[in-house]
Amino acid sequence: MIKSAPGLPPAATGDIRDTVEIMLARLRSGGDTAARDYARRLDGWTGPIVTPRSTIEAAAAQVPSDLKEALAYAHANISAFARAQRASLQDFETELRPGLIAGQRSIPVSAAGCYVPGGRYAHIASALMTIATAKAAGVPHITAAAPPRDGPGIDAATLYAMDLAGADTILTLGGVQGIAAMAFGLFGTPAAAILAGPGNAYVAEAKRQLFGPTGIDTVAGPTDLLIVADATADPGLVALDLAGQAEHGPTSPCWLVTDHEPLARRVRDLIPDTCARLGGTNADTARAAWDAMGEIILCDSREEMAQEADRIAPEHLHLHATALDWWQTRLTAYGSLFLGAETTVAFGDKASGPNHVLPTSGAARYTGGLSVHKFLKTVTWQRATDAALPALARATSRISRAEGMTGHALSAEARLHAHSPTTALR
């Protein structure tokens, strides 16, 4: 290991937990009035909460045409990928035994709430990622919420993207009050069955506390990146990809895993100047993130590199290496995989198609990222005809009686008696 750093980022502190608990209780009882009050106190917003069409149109007029083109390109890719996911999830019906028929179907949730963060950066691409995916899933009503920025309301390009992606109602509400408004159905919106989208620690904690009665996509921690690089990697490109990730914030972990020590040393030496190239506060943020959370792990073999990647289970996993097919088959724990130096995490974050709302802090050990599946309920159904009843009722009755569940046994036996009164079960 060339440079060590603390491991996982801290969890929500007690302060944030308590603050969010108090805010949610107040928002639950105080409804629209409490939400307006928090919007004023926390974000200085006293304008309309439900964004009027005239504001959306005024925002669209401000967005430069080249940015509109880029957003149309990204929206087409993200929607096409989400539609392909939807098409891959087929409803089915199967006859398990003669007369015993069961099936599965996927039903979109009735209403979804998509949070689009916007405190530090205008997260324009996040609007496309969550809303377009809910749309492709077939959700009938999508409410989206984003914080007001710098006085005039939601950032114009973000608002344009929210509308482009298909939001039915757009709330100018950030943080806990935005999340609560969607979950509780404030401002005339239908209560969201599921809340999706990234956000800061307050947003993540609000989603965590609401989980249960309301579904959530994930509890997102700080974004992270692991690069696997072999001797063929370009150190300048590796350093640039690491610095780009570190730009997210000073708690964003970045790892370089390599089996080539000269590359490790070269990348380490290039990082300071590469961060400086980002300019202004981005340069300072990236440098601070790398100093606090950056780590270079030197391995002896390709297999050891794969084991390290699987152990860390990063949100983004980028291969600057050869034998990409081997890697694609071997790796088992990541939110999204970027194969080869020709691609970059920035493509996935903004425009290429697969979703950028991904598991962080090692959650890729057990889940993937946001997809149409999160907006769909995969439910099952069953039917039984006379041909299936004797064996089915007999098995059910015997298992139920062995469990001591007489009511279940009687329910099973009654089906049999109703259809074949002369057949004895036991």
* Shortest CB 172 distance to ligand NAD, Å: 10
Q: Which stretch binds ligand NAD (CB under 6 A): 114-122, 161-169, 229-237, 299-307?
A: 114-122
Q: What is the largest CA-CA distance in the chain?
A: 87
Measured in degrees and rounded to the nearest 5, phi and psi for residue 281 equal -70, -25
**Per-residue DSSP letter, 169:** E
Question: Of all helices (H) and strands (E), which one includes residue 57?
Answer: helix 53-62
119 binds ligand NAD per the rule CB under 6 A? yes
Q: Smallest distance, Å, CB 59 to ligand NAD?
A: 17
Which residues are known catalytic residues?
Answer: 315-316
Q: What phi and psi, each to the nearest 5 degrees, are found at residue 166?
A: 115, 20
Min dist. Cβ of residue 214 to ligand NAD (A): 18
Quick one: which segment of 57-65, 112-120, 206-214, 323-331 binds ligand NAD (CB under 6 A)? 112-120
Residues 385-414 that bind ligand NAD (CB under 6 A): none
In the complex, least distance from residue 359 CB atom to ligand NAD, rounded to whole angstroms: 9
> What one-character DSSP code corresponds to residue 247?
T
Nearer to ligand NAD, 356 or 415 (CB): 356
> By CB under 6 A, is residue 126 in contact with ligand NAD?
yes
Residues 229-248 that bind ligand NAD (CB under 6 A): 248
For residues 226 and 388, which CB has a smaller minimum distance to ligand NAD in the complex?
Answer: 226
Residue pair 239/278 in contact by the 8 Å Cβ criterion: no
Binding of residue 176 to ligand NAD (CB under 6 A): yes
**Which segment (106-114, 115-123, 256-264, 325-333) binds ligand NAD by CB under 6 A?**
115-123
- CB 205 to ligand NAD: min, Å: 10
Q: Say how far apart CA 32 and CA 186 lie, in whole Å.
A: 6
**Is residue 43 near ligand NAD by the rule CB under 6 A?**
yes
Q: How many residues bind ligand NAD (CB under 6 A)?
A: 25
129 to 148, contacts with ligand NAD by CB under 6 A?
147
- Burial classification of residue 308, based on how many CB atoms lie within 10 Å of its CB (0-12 exposed, 13-18 middle, 19 or more buried): middle
Handedness of CA 56, 57, 59, 64 (dihedral sign): positive
Cβ atoms of residues 271 and 235 within 8 Å? no
Tokens encoding 19: 């603050």
Q: Out of 34, 137, 182, 203, point to the residue binding ligand NAD (CB under 6 A).
A: 203
Closest separation in Å from C-beta 249 to ligand NAD: 6
Q: How far apart are CA 42 and CA 147, in angstroms?
A: 10
CB of 330 to ligand NAD, least distance (A): 25
Distance CA 370, CA 130 (A): 8
16 DSSP assignment: H
Among 109, 182, 220, 341, contact with ligand NAD (rule: CB under 6 A)? 220
Smallest distance, ligand NAD to C-beta of residue 349, A: 7
From the list 59, 65, 53, the residue with the least C-alpha distance to 157 is 59
- The single residue among 166, 175, 253, 348 that binds ligand NAD, judged by CB under 6 A, is 175
Residues 183-202 that bind ligand NAD (CB under 6 A): 198-200, 202
Token pair of 212, please? Answer: 């249960």
CB neighbours (10 Å) of residue 188?
10
Cα–Cα nearest to 293, from 244, 243, 255, 334: 255
CB 173 within 8 A of CB 70: no
Q: Which residue among 9, 113, 118, 215 contacts ligand NAD (CB under 6 A)?
A: 118
Query: Could you give the angle at the alpha carbon of 201 between the alpha carbons of 199 and 205, nearest 5°?
Result: 95
Which positions from 7 through 26 interact with ligand NAD, judged by CB under 6 A? 19
Contacting ligand NAD within 244-303 (CB under 6 A): 248-249
Q: What is the contact mask toward ligand NAD in residues 52 to 91, using x (rule: CB under 6 A)?
A: ----------------------------------------
Crossing angle of helices 261-277 and 235-246, in 10° steps, is 50
Binding track over 320-359 against ligand NAD, x by CB under 6 A: ------------------------------------xxx-
| Binding region for ligand NAD (CB under 6 A) out of 55-63, 172-180, 231-239, 268-276 | 172-180
Q: What is the dihedral of CA 9, 14, 16, 20, to 10 degrees?
A: 130
Q: Which residue has the tokens 């179907």?
A: 105
Report in angstroms the alpha-carbon separations of 156 from 35, 45, 163, 194.
Answer: 22, 16, 11, 26
What is the binding site for ligand NAD (CB under 6 A)?
19, 42-43, 117-120, 123, 126, 147, 174-176, 198-200, 202-203, 220, 223, 248-249, 356-358
